[in-house]
Amino acid sequence: MTAAGVSNLGMIAGPDFLWAIDGSQGPAPAKAFIAASKQATGKDFGRLLLTHHHGDHIGGLQFFRHAEVWSHPYCRDEVLKTVPATPKMWTPTPNGPADISEPRKVVVPMLTFKDNLTVLVGDIEVRFLWAGTCHTWGDMMAYLPKQKILFAGDVGFFWVAPYANNSYISKWIDTCDQIAGWDVDIIVPGHGPIGGKKELADMADYFRVLGVETRKRYDKKLSPGVAAAEIRLGKFDNWIGPERLIMDVVRWYEEWDGTLTPDYNAAAVRGATVEYNQVKAGESKSAELIPLSRMEALGHGC
Ligand SMILES: [Zn+2]
């Protein structure tokens, strides 16, 4: 799927039950995925690996009714924080399912692990691997060494601008470089179509190109919003969700300033978006401005 905020799901079929990788953003994709998996295998989901805490990966968890949810402990802590602010009911959407009358529920992971863990799903070896500080501070991936498949979660954004609001970008690039040395043929990213090492290397290049362009402006002491408005990324400008460049520039600045934390700096991204729009409006009356509401909606993760 290629819409910016739509996340991919993964399924591994064991002899007795299915494993899911992630829970999708809400009722429609979760229900469709569960139904298609049942049709293909005749089985139900019994376990689910949550790759990280962002809303578009946890929103549909309640529909995996009997699945134990596993995650990194940081991920669990972040999911717990979302409980008070989560609405009690689902909001109907034009293309959503007709039946969302049941209350909305946050499902909190019941089992956490920090390090790598190998699980045998029948005769399929599945290695759950911590990605290091990366897209978030608690990213888990699922690697099937015999099949040479990696479910990368949001360590991978293919043809979609990567979302860095909770990220440590230079370490994220390091993780991509490490995966380049693994025995992997197929990478299922968190966002965008299935690809492989080439697509993951392309995404690391997005950050490298952005880093070079951002650093020039950081050294000139431009503010992040002005820097973001000036930067052109060549082929990456056509990726879905180009406005994420603003948040990604903010994160690079925080990394170099030594002020980076695991948390999303909403005020800094908002301020940079206002400046970005001022520069763009000054350049052209027909400039496409970034609505603040769009950036704030992105605060829930991707
Ligand atoms: Zn994410």
- Ligand 1 center–CA 52 separation, angstroms: 7
pLDDT of 300:
73
> Comparing C-alpha atoms, which of 100, 106, 101, 65 is closest to residue 87?
106
- Provide the β-strand partners of residue 70: 49, 111
Give the predicted TM-score (pTM) of the model: 0.95
pLDDT of 6:
82
Domains of the chain are 10-147 (3.60.15.10), 205-298 (no CATH)
d(CA 154, CA 209): 19
Distance of CA 236 to the CA centre of its chain: 18
The residue type at 132: G
- Ligand 1 center–CA 135 separation, angstroms: 7
Tokens of 99: 């039946």
Protein residues with C-beta less than 5 angstroms from the ion ligand 1: 54, 154, 302
- Ligand 1 center–CA 159 separation, angstroms: 15
- Ligand 1 center–CA 198 separation, angstroms: 20
- Ligand 1 center–CA 210 separation, angstroms: 19
Mean pLDDT per 10-residue segment, the chain (302 residues): 73 98 94 97 98 96 96 98 91 72 93 96 97 97 98 98 97 98 98 97 98 98 98 95 95 98 96 96 90 83 78
pLDDT of 97:
67
- Ligand 1 center–CA 282 separation, angstroms: 33
- Ligand 1 center–CA 98 separation, angstroms: 27
| Ordered DSSP codes for the chain | --STTPPP-EEEE-SS-EEEE---SSHHHHHHHHHHHHHHHS--EEEEE-----HHHHTTGGGSTTPEEEE-HHHHHHHHHTTTTS-SSPPP-TTS-S---SPP-PPPPSEE-SS-EEEEETTEEEEEEE--SSSSSS-EEEEETTTTEEEEEEEEESSBPPP-TT--HHHHHHHHHHHTTS--SEEEEEESS-B-HHHHHHHHHHHHHHHHHHHHHHHTT--HHHHHHH---GGGGGSB-TTHHHHHHHHHHHHHHT---SS--HHHHHHHHHHHHHHHHHH-TT-----HHHHHHGGG--
